[in-house]
Chains A and B, each alone.
Chain A
Amino acid sequence: MSGEASGNFLFGYIRFAHFSAGYVLSIGFLLRIYWALIGNARAMQIFWVPLWRKCFWREVYHEIRWYAFLTVESERSIGHNRLAQLAMFFMFTQTITFMVITGFALYGQGAGTDSWQYKLFGWVFSIWPNSQDVHTWHHLGLWVIVAFALVHIYAVVREDACRAGASLL
């Protein structure tokens, strides 16, 4: 990147893209929460995990056995199976929530301490007074999402391939 600083804005555009995507993600996520509230029972699945129910764990156990090739019967139900629901809640819902909160807190630092972002999310810096830590955890969140996406996409493709022919298991 050569030339005068005034003639370039590469990193500025990268940051702009990140923040715009962040806003789209956050608004989409809010809509998703709204849908969970007004939608059908399955719309709630990724926000609501009945960890205290015995039958939930029985189904999770069954699903683990299914993915471990130990049983041939899969719980076929509409929506997520119990294991998927567990993964969605802990890996996706919570991570996205965390990313949105820490993201807006970091955004508030740039926007200034009197910005609404800082007023709403500045409490993050009471947990981590040094915002370097917030950067670190926000960065680690990226990798949680990468790992989640790998498994998620694989599970979807596999499900499709296996179910389509209904030939396996």
Chain B
Amino acid sequence: MSGATETFYSVIRRQGMTRRSFHKFCSLTAASLGLGPLAASSIANALETKPRLPVIWLHGLECTCCSESFIRSAHPLIKDALLSMISLDYDDTIMAAAGHQAEAILEETRAKYKGRYVLAVEGNPPLNEGGMFCIDGGKPFVEKLRSMAEESMAIIAWGTCASWGCVQAAKPNPTGAAPIDKVITNKPIIKVPGCPPIAEVMSGLVTFITTFGKLPELDRQGRPSMFYSERIHDKCYRRSHFDAGQFVEEWDDEYARKGYCLYKMGCKGPTTYNASSALRWNGGVSFPIQSGHGGFGCSEDGFWDKGSFYDRLTTIKQFGIEENADQIGMAAAGVVGLTVAAHAAITAVKRMTHKPDRAPHKSKPS
């Protein structure tokens, strides 16, 4: 464990990071947070003077892609320093300590930084069978989560697992996996959805909390608005093809080679709030649409349960059948149309056969 007054800056200097790359990191972070150039120096100042933020990083039911994404961020400082900084506290995947030693650190942090540490949760707890589908340190993960959440200042729900449930919560969800906000209801929860979330978004968030000593503004869904206030579609570089009506019609057609819009191939960009088109993954290398595949909608609620990735019209399960809106609609319109036609036919027949004995006096005056 490190001293309480230790700063982020002193940690990274000890890691052998130069002052120059520290400042690069600050400018990069300021830019990705959407702050002006002056903010870089206030970030630097905060990281040099404020005690570093203790972070406990727990792993529930998950695939570790959030951590994988995190270590592939654009600036080396992020993976080297932020990770080792975090591991000073607790992250069972990357920390040196293991077993009882690791569990001791957890208890120590919990007591020492009571109400001051941030609990980052990657993955989620399964609730069925008393939570026995995810055992961590000999106990159901959900118990560890509850006890660590109790003394925390705030919770960061990393990734779609922690934010929405993701694949383990997809129907029929045999383990009863539940997003963090279904289990912990009395702490501020910051959702950072994405499968995985973007590295710069993750580090930007941690830096923001350290620098400003407060939680960022959250949107209606509990996501930091600075990274999740626009859809992929709003900033997509293929958007001009969308507006032009130029669509890829089939994989490998001429339009696919020309880089037309992937809407008709089921792109979920128009319904997905994420910074993918702006920041991308793996140090800004790429994102699905750039590789010629539609957006998956991975940062959205229940994205596994929305039918095919290759169709904009997704299946509707509410009626006990799995059809999309057009199939249901056409069937309904067909039934209605046939009924109308049949009714018209009967009316016509009645009219012909009953004409003689239906005198006008039958209808009341209007």
Contacts and interface: CB of A to CB of B under 8 A. Distances in A.
Interface stretch (A46-54, A57-65, A71-79, A92-100): A71-79
B220 A158 contact: no
Contacts of B230: 112-113
A134 B330 CA distance: 19
B111 interface: no
A73 B247 CA distance: 57
A151 B336 contact: yes
Contacts of A129: 164, 221, 300-301
A2 B271 CA distance: 26
Nearest to A15: B243
Contacts of A9: 243-245
A120 interface: no
B301 to A, nearest CB: 4
Contacts of A167: 351, 355, 358, 360
B231 A109 contact: yes
Interface string B225-251: 100011100100000111111110000
Given A129-B300, A130-B302, A136-B325, A73 B271 contact: no
Given A126-B220, A139-B313, A78 B366 contact: yes
B20 interface: no
A50 to B, nearest CB: 22
A18 interface: no
B246 A154 contact: no
B278 interface: no
A112 B268 CA distance: 17
Contacts of B206: none
Contact of B314 (A113, A125, A132, A147): A132
A147 B300 contact: no
B219 A10 contact: no
A113 B302 contact: no
Interface string A126-169: 10011111111101101110110011001000100011001111
A158 B344 contact: yes
A67 B342 CA distance: 12
A113 B229 CA distance: 7
B196 to A, nearest CB: 18
A6 interface: yes
Contact of A5 (B244, B271, B346): B244
Contact of A151 (B340, B346, B350): B340
B316 interface: yes
Nearest to A14: B245
A130 B340 contact: no
A146 B240 contact: no
Interface string B9-51: 0000000000000000000000000000000000000000000
A110 interface: yes
B328 interface: yes
Contacts of B245: 1, 8-12, 14
Given A72-B358, A76-B366, A154-B344, A5 B246 contact: yes
B332 interface: yes
B244 A11 contact: yes
Interface in B197-242: 219-221, 225, 229-231, 234, 240-242
A130 B219 contact: no
A76 B225 CA distance: 58
Nearest to B244: A8
A132 B271 contact: yes
A150 B347 contact: no
A151 B358 CA distance: 26
A130 B240 contact: no
A8 B242 CA distance: 10
Contacts of B182: none
B350 A69 contact: yes
Given A131-B300, A132-B300, 19 more contacts: A5-B240, A10-B244, A73-B362, A76-B366, A109-B270, A112-B230, A113-B225, A113-B230, A130-B297, A140-B325, A143-B333, A144-B329, A150-B340, A154-B343, A154-B344, A167-B360, A168-B347, A168-B354, A169-B358
Interface of A: 1-2, 5-12, 14-15, 67, 69, 72-74, 76-78, 109-110, 112-113, 122, 125-126, 129-137, 139-140, 142-144, 146-147, 150-151, 154, 158, 162-163, 166-169
Interface of B: 164, 219-221, 225, 229-231, 234, 240-247, 268, 270-271, 297, 300-303, 306, 312-314, 316, 324-326, 328-330, 332-333, 336-337, 340, 343-344, 346-347, 350-351, 354-355, 358, 360, 362-366
11 contacts: A10-B244, A72-B358, A73-B362, A109-B270, A122-B220, A129-B164, A131-B271, A139-B325, A142-B329, A154-B340, A158-B343
